[in-house]
Amino acid sequence: MRRRTVLQGFAAAAAITALPRLGFAQIPPGVLAVGQIAEPQSLDPHVATATNDFRIAVNLYDGLVRFRSGTLEVEPALATEWTIAPDGLLYRFTLRDGVTFHDGSPFDAASVVFNFDRMLKDDHPFHDTGPFPLSFFFSTVESVTAVDPRTVEFRLKEPFAPFLSNLAYPTGLIVSPAGVEAKAKDFGRAPSGTGPFRFGEWQANQRVVIARNEGYWDGAPALEAVIFRPVADANTRTAEMLSGGLDLMVEVPADSIALFRDDPSFVLQEAPGPHVWFLILNTREGPFADKRVRQAVNYAVNKAAIVDSLLQGTASVADGPIPRAFGFANDGSTEPYPHDPERAKALLAEAGVTQATLRFLVPQGGSGMLEPVAMATAIQADLAAVGLTAAIETFEWNTYLSTVNPGLAGKGDMAAMAWMTNDPDTLPFLTLRADALPENGGFNSGYYTNPDVDALLDKARRSTDQAERGRLYEEVQRLVHDDAPWLFVANWKQTTASTAAVQGFKPEPSFLLPLKGVSKA
């Protein structure tokens, strides 16, 4: 990949472009080096799907709204206020005045219309710069209209409770129309937004650099620049932190928790969040087409041992597709599958599957993936104890996504996956409905279908009554837990480590990484 634009005109340019010669252990003051878990796939927030990419994007772009710091509650951003019609079908936003994109073009209502039409309309001139896999978030939008330069209206096809929350998610970030028109499909490699940092450079498998936006509408950030380094191996990220090559790392490996906690030169922080780590099972054909086999693997795996020993308490055992972080939608009444190998063997015998060979797809690392290879090895051993042979195949993260997202191809396939979401609707809606099968553009890679689940999800997303939504999602949790289309494993507690020089940083329940308020001594 050719070298991208290099921070021309930015104060930090000379220091950052010298880093390959100096070594990353000599990071200049005011420059923050962040250890990411993988090379990003795209910095176009409408194209990206991984939290790894979104952690960079939220610093380059703004949405109409954003998550209030420390919460999943929505507050104004590029929109200063909004009103919602009594029938829940019309949202009117008043836009912030005087905001410009990094390329100098103006932000206005027309640019908002461009963004959503680009994602949602097949005949838009830049729709083919996609695909836009998370445009599902806005599938209920019927039209977006610029009333005047400072006012934009969204008309929905039906009431949609998660709409504001989805606008706050990175898929709702606003990109520069002029930037898209200039770069088309290359926009994700040369992005332009309105955020607190501007894009600097992207050197493949080395770093993405962003630099301070001096004219940011919400005040310039303290940091001159941020370097996002892809360091896939968790132990290598730890070594880089200890040697001074990183100032901040996400997804601290369990074995390093005590190390950073006990060393006063580092700050270890933890935040629970809406995360699920699970194995997708091919329910269309092969042994997992039988619910008893799917339940058996859930009984066979000692998830408590994985959480307590391998992950050393940095996660909790998952009980279904909706994490307990969404308290109103998961009251804890659905208990996780206990470790019961004898029950697993009995179910396998009932299904006539006393022995089987499974293909177990696993990423080497990636967004929210915890310790995927080590976890897969533990699962493999537990499955072997009940007569199931799981052959592990590992992949680089982006290769993995391109292998799994189109759907599991082989009988007996299972694949590790992790999702971090902003609403209890998101994960089941995008991954468990019949309409979300890969051939329909969704992420239901295991081909699970249950009409009752589909009906509940449709009703929950139309309801404007939070208590009713909660009851509906709890029923979804119960049904999916019983059908067991996944092996439910863990809910991750996000853990970060930073040097004591880093000030103002706190991990967010969204698992995103906004750095506008961070400084470094």
Q: What is the pLDDT of residue 234?
A: 84
Predicted confidence band of residue 57 (pLDDT cuts 50, 70, 90): very high
Token pair 């930090």 is found at 12
Of the chain, the percentage scoring pLDDT greater than 70 comes to 95
CA–CA separation, 291 and 452 (whole Å)? 16
The string of DSSP codes covering 95-156 is EPSS-B-TTSPBP-HHHHHHHHHHHH-TTSTTGGG---GGGGGGTTEEEEEEEETTEEEEEE
Return the sign of the alpha-carbon dihedral for residues 489, 47, 88, 140.
negative
Fold of the domain built from segment(s) 13-247+501-520: D-Maltodextrin-Binding Protein; domain 2 (3.40.190)
Q: Where are the beta strands (DSSP E) in 337-458?
A: 356-363, 388-395, 413-420
- Does domain 275-493 fall into CATH 3.10.105.10? yes
Mean pLDDT of the 74-103 span: 96
What is the bridge-based pairing of β-strands 225-230 and 388-395? unpaired
pLDDT tens per residue, range 385-407: 999 999 999 999 989 999 999 99
**Residue 472: pLDDT above 50?**
yes
Highest mean pLDDT: which range of 69-73, 217-221, 506-510: 217-221
Q: What is the pLDDT of residue 285?
A: 95
Per the prediction, the chain carries an average pLDDT of 92
DSSP 3-state of 257: helix
Q: What is the pLDDT of residue 294?
A: 98
Predicted confidence band of residue 465 (pLDDT cuts 50, 70, 90): confident
**Residue 322: pLDDT above 60?**
yes
CA triple 99-101-106, angle to 5 deg = 60
Q: Where are the beta strands (DSSP E) in 213-250?
A: 225-230, 248-250
Domain boundaries, the chain: 13-247+501-520, 275-493
pLDDT tens per residue, range 118-159: 999 999 999 998 899 889 889 999 999 999 999 999 999 999
Q: Are 64 and 71 in contact (CB under 8 A)?
A: no
Query: Where are the alpha helices (H) located in 385-417, listed in sequence order?
Result: 397-404
**Residue 301: pLDDT above 60?**
yes
**Residue 324: pLDDT above 50?**
yes
Q: How far is CA 387 from CA 285, 352, 379, 392, 415, in A?
A: 19, 12, 13, 16, 19
Domains 13-247+501-520 and 275-493 share a fold: no
